């Protein structure tokens, strides 16, 4: 792998952005310790404003961690944007985005940096590079996905010898340069949560920037709760509120003039499956149906923002 990852010639300063919302504190401890060992600084944006998490940040090496509490849950997009803005103020050249329940491999960041440097040296406009992740709840799932002919296609990276060009990456584990962030812009805060990474990746692609998955870089991650078999398929079961955001934001993307047609077809198929499966077999069925219908209604209205906020367009 040595030839594949030439050593970066430039000096980089990487600040990790951790978005937390009522985290498992043992998992958060492991993440912060791992990030402290590889990053130049850490910004923890706490959407839950938890005293226990603040106490852990305060106990870490002085000057290396900034704890930013939010008085209420502002959503993942707003939290990421606040953290990234703080990182630039700290003098960062790059940011490493992370959820509170992720754990990067010890060499993940160094591999991502070498991959990014190699791609940029080849003249690529790189929006972000991200690792292959193993979902602790669904270990057999492939981490990289493309949309092909209107369907989500899982990429078996295997022993791939080059980074994989993708439409988007999950936010957690993404390494982004300041130049890319400035060119593409911040995350769309009105989406609040779910499909934020998809919208940003597709926007980057439209502006001439690409996301890359690096199979040599690893990360452990958790998405939702343990999967269940529903109508012959394994699905990750989310709360009714999360299903509202997934429904509403899928409709938003399907109606967006700049989203590729293949993506609209793929999102439509996923939305249809969820709209059938949850009210039929996942309890509380009526609550799931109510939130799906509410998400469809708000998506068609163009109503975005937090679920309980006044109508915002």
pLDDT in tens, 163-213: 999 999 999 999 999 999 999 999 999 999 999 999 999 999 999 999 999
Residue 236 within a domain: yes
Angle of helix 261-281 relative to helix 285-301, nearest 10 degrees? 150
Q: For residue 286, what are the domain limits?
A: 227-301
Specify whether 55 is located in the same domain as 202. Answer: yes
Backbone phi, then psi, for 99, in 5-degree steps? Answer: -80, 165
**pLDDT over 60 at 130, yes or no:** yes
Specify whether 199 is located in the same domain as 236. Answer: no
Residue 309 within a domain: no
pLDDT of residue 267: 97
pLDDT of residue 247: 98
pLDDT of residue 313: 34
Determine if the peptide bond prior to 284 is cis (ω within 30°): yes
By DSSP bridging, strand 164-166 and strand 41-46 are unpaired
The enclosing domain of 49 has a CATH number of 3.90.550.60
Examine the fold and report which residue of 221, 238, 271 is the final residue of a domain before the chain moves on.
Answer: 221
**pLDDT over 90 at 85, yes or no:** yes
Specify whether 19 is located in the same domain as 123. Answer: yes
Examine the fold and report which residue of 191, 206, 221 is the final residue of a domain before the chain moves on.
Answer: 221
pLDDT of residue 225: 58
Confidence class for position 116, pLDDT limits 50, 70, 90: very high
Specify whether 131 is located in the same domain as 196. Answer: yes
Confidence class for position 257, pLDDT limits 50, 70, 90: very high
Residue 147: beta bridge partners? 152
Residue 116 within a domain: yes
DSSP for 73-87, written as a single string: ---HHHHHHHHHHHH
**pLDDT over 80 at 276, yes or no:** yes
Domain count, the chain: 2
CA–CA separation, 48 and 22 (whole Å): 6
pLDDT of residue 289: 97
Of 11 and 255, which is predicted with more confidence? Answer: 255
Mean pLDDT of the chain: 90
Residue 128 within a domain: yes
Q: What is the dihedral of CA 296, 99, 118, 207, to 10 degrees?
A: 30
pLDDT of residue 2: 44
Examine the fold and report which residue of 221, 247, 281 is the final residue of a domain before the chain moves on.
Answer: 221
CA–CA separation, 122 and 221 (whole Å): 30
Specify whether 203 is located in the same domain as 217. Answer: yes
CA–CA separation, 294 and 300 (whole Å): 10
CA–CA separation, 313 and 301 (whole Å): 8
């Amino acid at each position: 792998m040595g030839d594949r990852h030439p050593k970066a010639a430039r000096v980089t300063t990487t600040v990790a952005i951790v978005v937390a919302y009522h985290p498992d504190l043992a998992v958060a401890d492991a993440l912060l310790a791992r990030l402290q060992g590889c990053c130049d600084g850490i910004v923890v944006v706490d959407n839950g404003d938890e005293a226990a998490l603040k106490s852990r940040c305060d106990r870490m090496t002085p000057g290396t961690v900034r704890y930013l509490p939010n008085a209420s849950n502002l959503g993942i997009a707003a939290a990421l944007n606040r953290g990234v803005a703080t990182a630039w103020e700290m003098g960062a050249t790059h940011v490493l985005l992370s959820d509170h329940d992720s754990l990067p491999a010890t060499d993940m960041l160094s591999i991502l940096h070498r991959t990014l440097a190699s791609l940029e040296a080849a003249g690529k406009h790189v929006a972000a590079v991200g690792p292959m992740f193993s979902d602790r709840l669904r270990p057999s799932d492939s981490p990289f996905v493309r949309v092909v002919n209107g369907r989500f296609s899982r990429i078996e990276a295997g022993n791939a010898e080059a980074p994989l060009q993708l439409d988007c990456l999950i936010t957690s584990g993404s390494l982004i340069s300041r130049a890319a962030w400035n060119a593409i812009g911040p995350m769309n805060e009105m989406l609040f949560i779910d499909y934020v990474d998809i919208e940003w990746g597709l926007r980057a692609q439209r502006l001439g920037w690409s996301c890359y998955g690096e199979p040599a870089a690893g990360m452990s991650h958790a998405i939702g709760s343990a999967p269940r078999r529903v109508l012959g398929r394994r699905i990750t079961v989310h709360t009714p509120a999360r299903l509202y955001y997934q429904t509403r934001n899928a409709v938003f993307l399907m109606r967006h003039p700049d989203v590729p047609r293949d993506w609209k077809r793929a999102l439509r198929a996923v939305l249809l499956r969820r709209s059938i499966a949850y009210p039929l077999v996942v309890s509380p069925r009526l609550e799931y149906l109510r939130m799906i219908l509410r998400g469809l209604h708000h998506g068609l209205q163009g109503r975005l923002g937090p679920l309980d906020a006044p109508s915002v367009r």
